Structure 1
Amino acid sequence: MALIRRTNSWLPSIFNDFFGNEWMESRSLSSPAINIQESDKGFSVEVAVPGMTKQDCNVTIDEDNNLLISVEKKTENEEKDKDGVYLRREFSYSQFQRRMLLPDNIEKDHIAAKVEDGVLKIEIPKSKEEEKASKVKQIAIQ
């Protein structure tokens, strides 16, 4: 009878061999997909935010010229019997924050953001000349 030697790392090795290394990616499940596209006119950022509204999203530029994208949603569902005792109570909380360093050649005052069909779209236009002033700015979401 042959003995099978097991080590602490045998199971992940099997999964990595079978599914490939991409399967064991070290990403957080709460991190939404982000697309960033550059053109001659500027940058387009798309963040997947299914089920979120503009009230759940926040886009700002901090004093270090970082674009801060944060999303937070709280939901709570309750079912009670006649006496007010919980039969079932479910709640969820989703939170995400992403920080991206902005290039110097953008027009901070013309950045626009909107939520549409489960996607937060942020348009960042390029400027003709570099903006030197660095300040905190809140970006309204339409």
Structure 2
Amino acid sequence: MDRTSVLKAIADETRMKILTLLLEHNCCVRALARNLELSEATISQHLKILREAGLISGEKRGYFMHYDVKRSVLRELAGEIKALASIEREICTPEKGRCLSSEQEKCHVKDECIDDTKNLCHGSIPDDKEDMHHGHCKCHKP
């Protein structure tokens, strides 16, 4: 599964609607077009993207191609998202941090992070998000 193409494919609202309909029962282009009140050409373009992403497959029935969702791809993506969401944030320390050694000295030796150090080590933080810095980094106050 190419995660990026799958995510791009499902990022479109119409394609999500198509997937939802196809999860309920397999359909042909004409049925999808009728349900979504779109042209068959538009549905075909969306199906092409979903097919190229590996999310759907088609089966010829008479004159019509009926499409179905590859649920295994959705399950695999869901597993990857679940694993991503389960990553625990670590306390920022010189030993665990990913700062360069020169940056560690500036950030982790002092009891307080000065603005320049915050920008160097943690990136620019908007004034209204100031407390976010200390939400994940214990170099200021435990």
TM-score (norm 2): 0.22
Query: Between Structure 1 and Structure 2, which shows a larger proportion of helix residues?
Result: 2
Q: Which has the higher contact order (CA 8 A, sep 6+)?
A: 1
TM-score (norm 1): 0.22
Query: Between Structure 1 and Structure 2, which shows a larger proportion of strand residues?
Result: 1
In terms of Rg, which structure is larger? 2
